[in-house]
Amino acid sequence: MSHAAMPGVSSPHIERETAHVTRAAKKVATQAREPAVCPTDDEATLPAKNKNKRSLDYVWRSGVAGGMAGCAAKTVVAPLDRVKILFQSHNPHFVRYTGSWRGALDAMKLIHQQDGALGLFRGHSATLLRIFPYAAIKFLAYEQVRAVVIPSKDKESPFRRFISGSLAGVTSVFFTYPLEVIRVRLAFETKMEGRSSLRSIVKQIYNEHQIRKPPAAVPGVPAAVTEALPAIAPRHGLTNFYRGFSPTLLGMVPYAGMSFLTHDTAGDVLRHPKLAKWTTLPRPANAPEGKPAPLRSWAELTAGGIAGMISQTASYPLEVIRRRMQVSGAVGDGHRLKILETSGIIMRERGFRGFFVGLTIGYAKVIPMVAVSFYTYERAKMWMGI
């Protein structure tokens, strides 16, 4: 029997192996106590977040990221947003300013003279109350719908991207539209004294009685019945918070669809191998598998800006119609305007150009707004590990 096999006797080879293991263990322990050489060194050891888009962890993180993106974007463009609403809704005090950049600047100057800097942000509190859930639902819905409509890379197409964005926009606007009506009414108000509070605006909208036109005669139905319908039909209540809802849904389809489609397509172009070294950042070590490299700040803002310009152009006429319908209770005879009726009024007042009143302001507002929105959303997702 050899000495190596005898109990209690260790060979020189075994002693050398034991010493080597001991030194390696001490080295690992020392490195664990030492700080990382650079901030990214720790990324390789960080456990990746749950990347399952159906998981509760992913849902709440993507929702918060979307809400943050919406609030940041709306705050950047709040002054232009107020002026645009005044132009679109044909506010009598600001009609003379419409149609030019100089007019928009003069309108902002007038608001500043009358109300100070805070006047440019009138209605912004209601905007933030609306935009956080709106943007959260929109981005969250896009991620969820996209996962179903585009289950794999080979299924990805412009049409599927467009449908995913449209469904996400429709979902978000359905749940948050009443807050949008309140915001528009606050921004529309320009009187100097006795201004309405948020509470009083809500109460006013709820209690507004709608003047209904007599219904047309229906064959086989007694005239007395058709004449009595307006009297028993509800003339006020929660339905008032959905003024202009139909054109909003119609406008949201091209707006959200083109926004997400253009942003994703522009991102693909900017990530092309011939451009990637100038436009992309290194992929984080804990990034989800298959997720493309993040764009540099200027590239992400460019993709978002292009998306904002195209989506705004596609949906602007319906946006003008929606604004006029939303303020119909505050002007005119108070009856609820329909889409075709509102379109006819706009055509009589200004012709076809009336559907694009404030579009230049719209570009100045939407391009940076969408750019900041997508930029904040993508960066927030990186920060939150999804």
Across the strands, what pairs with 280? 295
Which residues are CB-contacts of 107 (< 8 A; sequence separation ≥ 6)? 83, 86, 87, 94, 97
The 3-state DSSP class for residue 295 equals strand
Q: Which residue has the tokens 């900041």?
A: 372
Q: Where are the beta strands (DSSP E) in the chain?
A: none
Q: Is the sign of the CA dihedral 338, 342, 343, 348 positive or negative?
A: positive
d(CA 66, CA 136): 4
C-alpha distances out from residue 156 to 8, 163, 292, Å: 68, 11, 14
Reported as half-sphere exposure (CB side, CA atoms, 13 A), residue 144 has a value of 20
Query: With contact defined as beta carbons under 8 Å apart, do 58 and 144 qualify?
Result: no
Q: Give the pLDDT of the chain (386 residues) as one tens digit per residue.
A: 444 444 544 455 555 555 554 555 555 444 444 444 333 333 333 344 446 788 899 999 999 999 999 999 999 988 888 887 787 776 777 777 776 667 778 888 888 888 888 888 887 887 888 899 999 999 999 999 999 999 888 899 999 999 999 999 999 999 888 888 887 787 777 655 566 777 888 888 888 765 445 555 545 445 544 454 444 444 557 888 888 788 788 889 999 999 999 999 999 999 999 999 999 999 887 777 778 899 999 999 999 999 999 999 989 988 888 888 877 654 555 566 788 888 888 898 888 888 888 788 778 889 999 999 999 999 999 888 88
Q: Which tokens is 209 given?
A: 């009685």
Query: With contact defined as beta carbons under 8 Å apart, do 147 and 161 qualify?
Result: no
